Amino acid sequence: MNKRVLVIEDDPSALRLVQYALEKGGYQVLTATNGLAGLRKARSEEPDLIVLDVMLPGIDGFEICHRLRSEPETAQLPILMLSAKAQEIDRATGLKVGADDYITKPADTAEIVNRVRSLLDRKAAGRSGTVGFLGSKERVGTTTMVVNTAITLSQMGKRVSVVDFAGNGSSVAEHLGIKAEFTAAELLVKPLCSVRRQRPGVALAVHDTGVRVLTIPQFHERNTEVSLSDVDSYFDKLREVTDCFLLDLPYPSRDLEKVVIARCSFVIIVTDSKIDALPKVRSTASFLEKLGIGRERMGTVIIDRDTLLPEMDVSKLKPTIELQTGVDLLGIIPGDAKLHPGPGPASSPVVLSEPNGPVACSIREVVEHIVAQEKEHV
């Protein structure tokens, strides 16, 4: 089925030219000549991409883009902004409110088609091999699960990059005992083989196993906020050396992470074995559905850190747990103090320190489920 592109443009001549070029390029084109009509079609027609003019009657393109990014149903839509405003500040504004790309008028129609194709390819590549890990509540061991999963995938021959959005707590880099080698700016312009001194903020570190860790702290100062465009740029750069992205997502999630979650091919809900665990998983699954993640793209992992679950085969607990949560149970990780290191120097992840122990074996079984799900749903 041809990809559907919604063009929001009030100039009849420009609209006809863009529509003709896109249809010739093999796309199905929807049109709207003002902002409100464009918003309605974006919500009801489910286009794959939007070409958005900035200067529109009533609501301008910047406001439309902002509204689309703030609604879960349209938050992940690629948006190509088209504008006669050629100042750098206008382009920066467009990217800040959530546009994926920005072209100034007059624009060659062939270039527009190329940008559309590139954004759709990026969307497909960005979803492929991207697994998000989201705790159903705080302190359930999400980061620990991410770290051990990443190393296990690396041991299977996968090139793994972890993107750590949880930055305020114990970070992935801290769990692995590694320090940043690149700042964000250096990541985008320097070869990945070069090394730079550590600085605060967004940065990249590399573990001995080959796992790369990109840390994106939750800044509070408005002028240091990371944009969706920034995140896409980091992903594009790391994609050169990555087969699988793992995302350590915060609880609760900000608007930025909500958009990123919607782009995941699969999301793992991590929880514990306490009495409120299963209702929390169910509510988290409902939250994910609002972001466009279907139940077939979700799984649950229970970390039984307090050894509250009976020692029995997972297959016997699986039907009951799935009935109560509505989500596939991928595995139960048995309780072990080594899974939850306290303050002080980082200890070796359990899949490295005790590779044949019950915890490491359980984690590998979960990873095998993740790999199987990825092959099925990507």
Sheet holding 266-271, edge to edge: 182-183, 203-206, 212-215, 160-164, 244-249, 130-135, 266-271, 298-304, 329-334
Asked if residue 198 and residue 85 are part of one domain, the reply reads no
Structure tokens at 120: 């759709």
Asked if residue 69 and residue 39 are part of one domain, the reply reads yes
pLDDT tens per residue, range 117-160: 888 877 766 555 889 999 999 889 999 999 999 999 999 988 99
335 SS3 class: coil
pLDDT tens per residue, range 8-31: 999 999 999 999 999 999 999 999
Pairwise CA distance, residues 77 & 51, whole Å: 11
Asked if residue 330 and residue 187 are part of one domain, the reply reads yes
Asked if residue 330 and residue 289 are part of one domain, the reply reads yes
Quick one: pLDDT at residue 335?
75
Asked if residue 72 and residue 171 are part of one domain, the reply reads no
Between residues 117 and 375, the one the model is more confident about = 117
Asked if residue 224 and residue 289 are part of one domain, the reply reads yes
pLDDT at 195 over 50: no
Please give the residue range of the domain that contains residue 164: 128-377
The full DSSP string for 229-274 is: HHHHHHHHHHGGG-SEEEEEE-SS--HHHHHHHHT-SEEEEEE-SS
Residue 330's nearest CA partner among 302, 358, 295, 288 is 302
Confidence of residue 200 (pLDDT cuts 50, 70, 90): very low
Out of 27-41, 144-158, 196-210, which region has the weakest mean confidence (pLDDT)? 196-210
For residue 147, give the amino acid letter: V
Residue 132's nearest CA partner among 301, 242, 245, 267 is 267
For residue 186, give the amino acid letter: E
Instruction: Give the long-range contacts of residues 27-34, CB within 8 A, separation 24 or more.
Output: 27/2, 27/3, 27/116, 28/2, 28/3, 28/4, 29/4, 29/5, 30/4, 30/5, 30/6, 31/6, 31/7, 32/6, 32/7, 32/8, 33/8, 33/9, 34/8, 34/10, 34/58, 34/59
Q: Which of 104, 124, 144 is the last residue of a domain?
A: 124
Q: Which of 96, 124, 152 is the last residue of a domain?
A: 124
Pairwise CA distance, residues 29 & 23, whole Å: 7
Asked if residue 327 and residue 225 are part of one domain, the reply reads yes
Asked if residue 203 and residue 99 are part of one domain, the reply reads no
pLDDT tens per residue, range 291-305: 878 888 899 999 998
Mean pLDDT for 202-230 is: 74
Out of 38-52, 155-169, 277-291, which region has the weakest mean confidence (pLDDT)? 155-169
Quick one: pLDDT at residue 199?
36
Asked if residue 187 and residue 232 are part of one domain, the reply reads yes
Around 82, how many Cα atoms within 13 Å sit in the side-chain half-sphere? 24
Pairing mode, strands 130-135 and 4-8: unpaired
Here the CATH number for the domain that contains residue 93 is 3.40.50.2300
Q: Which of 124, 141, 163 is the last residue of a domain?
A: 124
Quote the number of domains for the chain: 2
pLDDT tens per residue, range 290-341: 887 888 889 999 999 877 776 666 778 889 999 999 999 999 998 765 555 5
Here the CATH number for the domain that contains residue 142 is 3.40.50.300
